[in-house]
């Protein structure tokens, strides 16, 4: 694309993305400097003084750093491991493992955390009971209500995001690079650490940074696991700020949120610096490329067993707990008596509830339409970020993270303060725009990782042959981006199916969504109904993932 056109496209995208993301954050900035409880009031610095002179803040920050880095390292390492096995090797049942890897993303975070508490609480957690029985222990060996418990559960929840960013990059990795290394005498391990992983650095870093930003904004794990374990982190600190009293001051919470925003923007700048020379990571150029399957040989079955056990313990078990809970009349530890009391009551209640059915329809609409619009916007934004390396492209990159970086507990109020000034307030369109604005990085990151690996020679050759930029995008770039597009769509759609932070503030009668219904059940302690609706949510998301993967594979073969 020539420079004036690229500049025009960049500024157009800055206008679109800016309109989506800047206003809610601006409202929160105004609120943080205003007296009173809304965005507009007399200027004051009191909220910052109050928020940052709190003696508890230092410990909260230290815990937060340990929590987010721990969770992000865990999610990224697991994702690299699973993505490598799934995309590059001949491990059996690949498709199944691919789906299993993204399942934690489909489960409402609250439910996933509760499932782990049921498995690993020190009083009667199922795994603890089993371990006590097997090893004849007096006390439960594991306590989920701790920092390591929080890291484990958050790491698992963020793993699918990392997987969906890393897997497309792995899939479009030119194996010739690895073959050259092997031919030159390097071992498989050396090739992995000296060639494969360094080339995948943009995708791995993107996954790691998204993980950090997500765990900073996470509330379910700090609330369900951190609060009983008495491990305060930023999210629970913000909750305390908001919940203690009735005249909730979101401006003060926004003041604390500003440091999260600053940390996130810094991370993005660091990421851009670390991946600045993007030519180094190009693996698909005009000279032909191929991906071949690495034969695991004797390690095939042991690795299969390892991934199988991992998937079972980390993913299947919590989902099974969920299914079990949906059939129980109340919370019970599994036993012969419990199984004899199984009932379909919660399922009948949920499926017969008109609001739950309306919520299901609305969530499906928002997922399909929102993810599709989000992916279209993401293709253009990712293109500009990766291929048009101007300062304006950097601004666009940072803008795309604005709403996403803000703690979820606060950003919804920013959107409310913004949308109430527009005719969109209390309509489904406010939800649609809010979703796209907040979760845009989920669309952009997988696409950027894929763009990084496509050499500009391909594009240039097409243009030289007389194709228009749009034709080049349609005929050359998009087909190569299919894995990224599928990943982005899946990430966005599954986020939208279970989106809570904006919905809880913006949804009104007629625009109810699934996650808000689930929250209502949770507030009332109705875990059976909550689990039944959660399973419906997982089923819908699984159907969307399978559909997107199938459509993606059709495009690939077409």
Q: List residues near another protein by CB under 8 A.
A: 37-40, 56, 59, 118, 121, 123-125, 145, 223-224, 227-232, 239-240, 242-248, 250, 329-333, 355, 413, 416-417, 420-421, 425-426, 504-505, 508-509, 519-520, 522-527
Residue 454: which of 536, 387, 392 has the closest Cα? 387
Beta carbon nearer to another protein, 23 or 417? 417
Beta carbon nearer to another protein, 395 or 420? 420
Closest distance of CB 235 from another protein, Å: 11
Beta carbon nearer to another protein, 109 or 520? 520
Residue 232: which of 219, 245, 243, 244 has the closest Cα? 219
Q: Sign of the C-alpha dihedral, residues 328, 331, 334, 336? A: negative
Closest distance of CB 393 from another protein, Å: 35
Beta carbon nearer to another protein, 145 or 173? 145
Closest distance of CB 326 from another protein, Å: 14
Q: Sign of the C-alpha dihedral, residues 493, 497, 501, 504? A: positive
Beta carbon nearer to another protein, 59 or 460? 59
> Angle 296-78-315 (CA atoms, 0-180°, nearest 5)?
100
Beta carbon nearer to another protein, 293 or 355? 355
Under DSSP, the state recorded for 56 is: T
Residue 143: burial class (beta carbons within 10 Å; 0-12, 13-18, 19+): middle
Beta bridge partners of 346: none
Q: Is 43 in a helix, a strand, or coil?
A: strand
Closest distance of CB 401 from another protein, Å: 25
Say if residues 238 and 408 touch (Cβ distance below 8 Å). Answer: no
Closest distance of CB 116 from another protein, Å: 13
Closest distance of CB 106 from another protein, Å: 22
Closest distance of CB 461 from another protein, Å: 54
Closest distance of CB 290 from another protein, Å: 53
Beta carbon nearer to another protein, 2 or 244? 244
Residue 502: which of 382, 415, 383 has the closest Cα? 415
DSSP for 104-159, written as a single string: HHHS-HHHHHHHHHHHH-TTT-HHHHHHHHHHT-SS-S--SSSHHHHHHHHHHHHH
Beta carbon nearer to another protein, 53 or 244? 244
Beta carbon nearer to another protein, 124 or 390? 124
Residue 49: which of 36, 32, 62 has the closest Cα? 32
Closest distance of CB 510 from another protein, Å: 9
Q: In sequence order, which residues have a C-beta less than 8 Å from that of residue 493 and are 6 or more positions away?
A: 367, 368, 370, 371, 541, 544, 545, 548
Q: Is 466 left (phi over 0), alpha (psi -120 to 50) or beta?
A: left
Residue 429: burial class (beta carbons within 10 Å; 0-12, 13-18, 19+): middle
């Amino acid at each position: 694309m020539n420079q004036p056109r690229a500049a025009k496209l960049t500024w157009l995208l800055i206008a679109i993305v800016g309109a989506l993301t800047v206003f809610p954050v601006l409202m929160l900035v105004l609120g943080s400097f205003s007296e009173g409880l809304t965005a507009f009031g007399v200027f004051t610095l009191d909220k910052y003084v109050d928020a940052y002179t709190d003696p508890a803040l230092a410990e909260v920050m230290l815990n937060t750093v340990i929590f987010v880095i721990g969770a992000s390292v865990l999610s990224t390492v697991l994702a690299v491991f699973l993505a490598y096995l799934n995309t590059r090797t001949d491990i059996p049942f690949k498709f199944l493992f691919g789906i299993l890897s993204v399942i934690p993303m489909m489960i409402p975070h609250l439910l996933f955390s509760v499932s782990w508490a049921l498995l690993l609480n020190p009083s009667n957690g199922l795994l603890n009971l089993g371990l006590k029985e097997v090893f004849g222990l007096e006390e439960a060996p594991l306590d989920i209500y701790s920092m390591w418990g929080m890291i484990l559960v958050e790491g698992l929840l963020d793993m699918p995001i990392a997987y969906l960013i890393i897997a497309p990059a792995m899939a479009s990795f030119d194996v010739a690079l690895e073959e050259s290394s092997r031919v030159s005498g390097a071992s498989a391990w050396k090739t992995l650490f000296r060639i494969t992983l360094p080339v995948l650095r943009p995708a791995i870093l993107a996954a790691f940074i998204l993980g950090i930003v997500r765990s900073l904004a996470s509330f379910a794990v700090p609330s369900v696991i951190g609060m009983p374990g008495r491990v305060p982190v930023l999210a629970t600190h913000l909750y305390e700020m908001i919940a203690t009293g009735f005249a909730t001051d979101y401006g003060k919470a926004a003041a604390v949120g500003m440091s999260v925003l600053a940390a996130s923007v810094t991370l993005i700048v660091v990421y851009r610096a670390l991946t600045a020379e993007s030519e180094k990571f190009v693996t698909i150029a005009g000279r032909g490329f191929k991906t071949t399957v690495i034969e695991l040989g004797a390690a095939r079955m042991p690795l299969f067993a390892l991934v199988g056990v991992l998937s079972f313990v980390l993913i299947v078990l919590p989902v099974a707990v969920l299914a079990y809970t949906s059939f129980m009349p109340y919370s019970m530890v599994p036993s012969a008596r419990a199984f004899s009391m199984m009932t379909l009551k919660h399922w009948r209640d949920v499926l017969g509830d008109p609001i739950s059915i309306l919520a299901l329809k609305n969530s499906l609409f928002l997922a399909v339409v929102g993810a599709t619009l989000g992916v279209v916007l993401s293709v253009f934004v990712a293109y500009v970020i990766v291929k048009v390396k101007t300062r304006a492209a950097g601004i666009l990159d940072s803008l795309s993270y604005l709403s996403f970086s803000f703690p979820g507990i606060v950003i919804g109020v920013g959107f409310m303060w913004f949308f109430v000034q527009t005719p969109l307030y209390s309509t489904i369109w406010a939800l649609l725009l809010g979703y796209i604005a907040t979760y845009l990085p989920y669309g952009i990151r997988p696409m950027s990782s894929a763009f990084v690996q496509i050499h500009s020679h391909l594009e240039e050759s097409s243009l030289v042959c007389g194709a228009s930029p749009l034709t080049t995008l349609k005929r050359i770039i998009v087909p190569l981006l299919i894995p990224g597009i599928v990943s982005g769509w899946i990430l966005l759609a599954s986020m939208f199916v279970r989106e809570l932070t904006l919905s809880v503030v913006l949804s009104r009668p007629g625009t109810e969504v699934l996650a808000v219904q689930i929250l209502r059940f949770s507030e009332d302690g109705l875990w059976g109904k909550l689990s039944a609706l959660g399973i419906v949510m997982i089923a819908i998301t699984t159907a969307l993932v399978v559909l997107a993967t199938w459509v993606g594979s059709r495009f690939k073969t077409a």
